[in-house]
Amino acid sequence: MVQIPVPATDNGKKRGLNKGKLFLVLFLAGLFFIFLGINLYVIVPVSVGNEAEACARCHAMVPEYATWRESNHAQFQCRDCHKQPGFAHLLKYQTRMVKEFLFYRATDLPQTVVADKIPDEVCKQCHSSNRIVSASSDTIIPHQKHEEKGISCVTCHKGVAHGRIMERGMTRKLTVSEWTPDVAREQMDYKYTTPKMDICLDCHGKRNVETTCSVCHSSMPVPDSHKPASWMTKHGEQARQDFKPCNLCHVYTMKKEVDLLQTTVFGYIRINTFCMNCHTTKKPPSHRQEGFMARHGTEAKNKGTGNCFVCHNLNKEDAQKGGWPNKVNCNDCHWFKAKSRVQE
């Protein structure tokens, strides 16, 4: 039998060529995605998260950027405070920056962006917990004692970089275009950036810690009217005549701003932490005397129920409505129908 030779085909070469092209395509694609990943995961977070100006390109961060520029932390970048120390936290921070770059830039942003609570470890990169006195005032603050009790830095110092603008609702009240340098400077006023005294007093009151001025202040001047021993029992009489001078000092312990012309002395007491710490937790001398329960009705009749309503409410419902922590109310035992004086 005669065999007819069959010409050789180049299928093998073609298959080898196709594999080579596929490998080259995959290799180039891999390099592209590696390059893209480096850009997204390293370069973008560095440019977006490390430079405050880059944060300001996002309209939701304009208030934070404007107030940061007026703060005493303006020499630091965003990531210096908003990234915890350590490699694991670096990766977490980088991932968050990528998310914000891809997601927030591509969608309609909310008016405010809520940041995570800054842990003490971040603050301690610059500050020491051994600090006792304040260079900018006469305050005596043993930071180490507070740290031992689990009180975080931002409990007192959360206004240092942005003036608590979100807590005060300023990010909703003002539009992006209204955040001018002058407005930001107003929002970074001393009363917004420094620790609020009502936080100190509220915390001390709940923990039965002394709240006298000398505990925290080394040179607090005491008005002449406060020096007599009878002041603690007589100060209410002067306050009922005119409590507005009280606000010259005790404004720093107010829980919220109030129009002094539109409120009563009873209303003032109930939004002032300094007043509340005594009027809700400590009994006056008359209440500690023997037989007070039997004669308290006569004393209320002779002295006026105004004294009673400084500390007490008529009904439990009134106390709950006003957020008043004193749990002793007149109608717990009585059945009076008159309105509480504090409602006036």
Residue predicted with more confidence, 205 or 189: 189
Count the domains in the chain.
Answer: 3
Q: What is the pLDDT of residue 223?
A: 84
202: nearest Cα among 305, 323, 74, 70: 323
262-278 per-residue burial string, b: 16 or more CB within 10 A, e: under 16: eebbbbbbbbbbbbbbb
Within a domain: residue 73?
Answer: yes
Lowest mean pLDDT among 132-136, 186-190, 199-203: 132-136
My answer on whether 36 and 86 are in the same domain is yes
What gap in Å lies between CA 31 and CA 221, rounded to an integer?
70
Cβ atoms within 10 Å of 193's Cβ, excluding its own: 21
Task: Answer whether residue 185 shows pLDDT above 60.
Answer: yes
275: nearest Cα among 251, 292, 306, 296: 251
Contact 97, 45 (CB under 8 A): yes
Last residue of a domain, one of 279, 301, 317: 279
Phi/psi at 166 (5° precision): -70, -40
Cβ atoms within 10 Å of 219's Cβ, excluding its own: 8
Last residue of a domain, one of 279, 313, 331: 279
My answer on whether 179 and 225 are in the same domain is no
Task: Answer whether residue 279 shows pLDDT above 60.
Answer: yes
pLDDT digits (tens, 9 = 90+) for 119-150: 898 888 888 777 666 666 678 888 888 888 88
Task: Answer whether residue 341 shows pLDDT above 50.
Answer: no
Question: Collapsing DSSP states into helix, strand and coil, what is residue 217?
Answer: strand
Q: What is the pLDDT of residue 342?
A: 43
8-23 average pLDDT score? 62
pLDDT digits (tens, 9 = 90+) for 293-327: 888 888 888 887 777 877 888 887 776 666 666 77
My answer on whether 77 and 163 are in the same domain is yes
My answer on whether 164 and 228 are in the same domain is no
Contact 154, 130 (CB under 8 A): no
My answer on whether 82 and 177 are in the same domain is yes
My answer on whether 149 and 295 are in the same domain is no
My answer on whether 189 and 46 are in the same domain is yes
Within a domain: residue 239?
Answer: yes
Q: What is the pLDDT of residue 344?
A: 41
Q: What is the pLDDT of residue 211?
A: 78
Q: How much of the chain, in percent, has pLDDT values that exceed 70? A: 77
**Rounded-to-10 torsion of CA 251, 256, 261, 265:** -70
Residue 201: pLDDT band (50, 70, 90) is: confident
Q: What is the pLDDT of residue 9?
A: 53
198-204 average pLDDT score? 81
Per-state percent for the chain, helix, strand, coil, to nearest 5: 55, 0, 40
What gap in Å lies between CA 314 and CA 77, rounded to an integer?
54
Structure tokens at 220: 């607090």
Q: What is the pLDDT of residue 112?
A: 52
Within a domain: residue 158?
Answer: yes
Within a domain: residue 237?
Answer: yes
Residue range of the domain that includes 22: 18-104+139-195
Average model confidence (pLDDT) for the chain?
78
What gap in Å lies between CA 170 and CA 156, rounded to an integer?
20
My answer on whether 152 and 260 are in the same domain is no
Phi/psi at 120 (5° precision): -60, -30
Q: What is the pLDDT of residue 184?
A: 94
pLDDT digits (tens, 9 = 90+) for 229-269: 888 888 888 888 898 888 888 887 887 778 888 888 888 88
What gap in Å lies between CA 271 and CA 277, rounded to an integer?
11
My answer on whether 75 and 150 are in the same domain is yes
Within a domain: residue 12?
Answer: no
Enter the DSSP assignment of 162. T
Task: Answer whether residue 18 shows pLDDT above 80.
Answer: no
Within a domain: residue 245?
Answer: yes
Last residue of a domain, one of 195, 223, 241: 195
Q: What is the pLDDT of residue 41?
A: 54
My answer on whether 34 and 57 are in the same domain is yes
Residue 183: pLDDT band (50, 70, 90) is: very high
Within a domain: residue 28?
Answer: yes
Q: What is the pLDDT of residue 338?
A: 54
Contact 342, 313 (CB under 8 A): yes
Based on its alpha-carbon atoms, the radius of gyration of the chain, rounded to whole angstroms, reads: 33
Distant-in-sequence, close-in-space partners of 342: CB < 8 Å, separation ≥ 6: 264, 266, 267, 270, 309, 313, 318, 322
pLDDT digits (tens, 9 = 90+) for 42-76: 555 555 555 677 777 766 788 999 999 999 899 88
pLDDT digits (tens, 9 = 90+) for 147-173: 888 889 988 888 999 999 988 889 888
Within a domain: residue 130?
Answer: no
Strand partners, 133: 140
Task: Answer whether residue 105 shows pLDDT above 60.
Answer: no
Q: What is the pLDDT of residue 325?
A: 66
- What is the DSSP annotation of 74-91? TTS-HHHHHS-SSHHHHH
Contact 310, 270 (CB under 8 A): no
Please tell me the pTM assigned to this model.
Answer: 0.58
My answer on whether 45 and 154 are in the same domain is yes
My answer on whether 144 and 267 are in the same domain is no
What gap in Å lies between CA 276 and CA 311, rounded to an integer?
8
